Structure 1
Amino acid sequence: MTSESIGTLRAVALDAADHERLAVFYQEFAGWQRVPDDDDDWITLDTTDGWRLGVQRAADHVPPEWPGQERPQQAHLDFRVSSIDAAADRAVALGATVLRRNERWHTLADPAGHPFDVCLGADGPRTLLAGVMLDCPDAKTLSHFYAELLGKPVTYEADGIAMIGEDGAQPVMFQQVTGYTAPRWPDPAYPQQLHLDVTVADVSVAERAVLALGATRLDGAGPNWRVYADPAGKPFCLIWED
C-alpha cells in the first residue's frame, strides 16, 4: 500500500442533539482539552496525543440502538485504560450507560447514545483513545479505501476485521457486520452517527482521487468543506484551508 495520501485525518466527529453536554462528557472522562472556536454548532476536543474529536450539533439526531442494525452504531471509539471497572464507573457517573461487560473490555453508551469500549491496556491513570472502529459490509474493501485516502498502510487483516496505521499513531479499524445498514445522509431516519474529516491541499485533485477509489459525492458543502460517501455509504468530509 502506498504511503502517499490524498489527505490527512483531521478529526473524528460525533453527532449529538446536545453537543455541549457530549463535549463536556469526553472532556471529563478522557481529560481532553477544548480548542477555541467561534462555531456555535461545533466543538473540537484535543486529546493531546494526536487525535481530535469533533462534536457536532445535530438537532434531529437519533441515537443508535446497539447492537442491532435497525438503527446501528455505524462506528465506535476504543479507549485504553488501566482498569475497565474503574473507567466504566467513572463514565457512568458522568452520564454514560453500561451496555455490556466482558473480562477484557466493557461497552458503554455516551450521553448521546454512541457506544464506546473501555479496554485493558493503558499504563498509568491516563485514558487513551486507541482507535476508531468503522462498521462495514466488507472490512478488506473499506480498509483499502481509507489506506489510500489517508496514506496509512494496512497493518492488520483477518476474517472480517482490518486495521490501517500503526498502534499509537491514530489507527482506523474496520469490522464486518452481518446485515450492515448504511447511513443515508442527511436522512435522520438513517443517521451517520459519526464521520471523519480529512484535510486536503487541493479539493479538486482530492475529489477526483476519492471518486476514482469508489467514493460518491453527496449534496453537502460549505466554504471549506465537501461531503462524500465512502464505498460503505458512510459520509466523510474533505476540508481545506479557506
Structure 2
Amino acid sequence: MSLQLVAITLDCPDPPALAAFYQQATGLELHPRSGADFAALNGEHGLVIGFQRVDGYRAPSWPGQDQPQQLHLCFRIGDDERLAEVESRLVESGARIPAHQPHGDRARVLTDPVGHPFCISTR
C-alpha cells in the first residue's frame, strides 16, 4: 500500500481569515474554491492546507494540554532569512509568541491568530 498526503486541514472559527494569515506567511496561492466555510492554500507538490469552520471552536493550549494542540505545523525559513526577522513579520501579521520555547536558537514556536502552534526553523 502506498499513501500520498494531499491535504492537511485545520479547524478554526473563520476560514478565510486564517487562510489569509497563512497565505501572507507562506506566499501560497488561495485555492479557487475557497469560501466562507472552507478555505485552502495550494502548497508544493499538490499538498493543500485547508481551513474549515467549526462552530464553538476552542483554541489549543501550548504547551499545556487542557485543550490539546492536535496538530503542529513546521516551516523551514529561507537560507537568506534570519529567524528573528521572520518571527517579527509573523507577529506583525497576527501570530503570537508563547513563553515556552523548547528549541533554543534552532527554532521558534509561535501560535497562529486562532491558537494553533507552529514552528519556524532554520533547518
TM > 0.5: yes
- What is the CA–CA distance in structure 2 between the aligned matches of 1:65 and 1:47, rounded to whole Å? 27
2:25 corresponding residue in structure 1: 29
Larger strand share, 1 or 2: 1
Distance 1:38 1:107, change over 3 A: closer
- What is the CA–CA distance in structure 2 between the aligned matches of 1:39 and 1:19, rounded to whole Å? 8
Distance 1:42 1:93, change over 3 A: same
Q: TM-score, normalised by structure 1?
A: 0.46
Distance 1:60 1:28, change over 3 A: same
**Higher CA-based Rg:** 1
- What is the CA–CA distance in structure 1 between the aligned matches of 2:29 and 2:16, rounded to whole Å? 13
Matching of residue 19 in structure 1 with residue 15 in structure 2: yes
Does the 8 A contact of 2:16 with 2:36 survive in 1?
no
State the 1:87 CA deviation.
1.3
- What is the CA–CA distance in structure 1 between the aligned matches of 2:68 and 2:49, rounded to whole Å? 20
2:86 corresponding residue in structure 1: 87
One-letter code aligned to 2:30: R
1:111 corresponding residue in structure 2: 113
Where structure 2 has 5 or more consecutive residues not aligned to the other structure, the ranges are none
1:53 corresponding residue in structure 2: 49
- What is the CA–CA distance in structure 2 between the aligned matches of 1:92 and 1:38, rounded to whole Å? 25
Q: TM-score, normalised by structure 2?
A: 0.86
- What RMSD over aligned residues (CA atoms) do the two structures have, in Å? 1.6
Q: Name the SS for the 1:97 alignment partner.
A: coil
> Residues 158-217 of structure 1, C-alpha deviation per residue, up to 9 Å, x if partnerless?
xxxxxxxxxxxxxxxxxxxxxxxxxxxxxxxxxxxxxxxxxxxxxxxxxxxxxxxxxxxx
Distance 1:72 1:31, change over 3 A: same
- What is the CA–CA distance in structure 2 between the aligned matches of 1:39 and 1:20, rounded to whole Å? 7
Q: How many residues align?
A: 117
1:198 corresponding residue in structure 2: none
Does the 8 A contact of 1:31 with 1:47 survive in 2?
no
